Amino acid sequence: MIPYIIRGFLILYGLIALVTSVNSMTGPYDPAIAPMADNSHRFIAAMWGSMSLGFFYCAWNLNEIALFRFLMIALFIGGIVRAVALVHYSPTPIIWAVIALELIPPPILWYMHSQLVETPAA
């Protein structure tokens, strides 16, 4: 059961990262935004695309410990940064949901994954 839960979340995170990446990379240029800001957003979109590959790889290779932990740490840190930024604006329900998705499952998945890889194969 645990491998299916972990795989499910990894695929969910991978799909979110992929959709975010494609939407941001292929979006039209907005002249109201400085070229450097647009360039930076597209670079970050490419990083999301790269992370989606990592999520998908880990979903099919659950014995990949270092990459899995890196991805969980990255998600958790992203959630902390988003939560800290809430002092600047009122969040919408979707922002609350994204922050919860970045702060709650990663430590639980880390624990479940640690239990899974430490269990000897029968």
Domain boundaries defined on the chain: 2-118
pLDDT, tens only, 24-34: 888 888 888 88
pLDDT at 96 over 90: yes
φ/ψ of 24, rounded to 5, equals -75, -35
Contact between 58 and 10 under an 8 Å Cβ cutoff? The reply is yes
Structure tokens at 21: 């990446």
Tell me the pLDDT of the chain averaged across its residues. 92
| pLDDT confidence of residue 112 | 96
pLDDT at 122 over 60: no
pLDDT at 97 over 90: yes
Ramachandran region of residue 22, left (φ > 0), alpha (ψ -120 to 50) or beta?
A: alpha
pTM beyond 0.75:
yes
| pLDDT confidence of residue 36 | 87
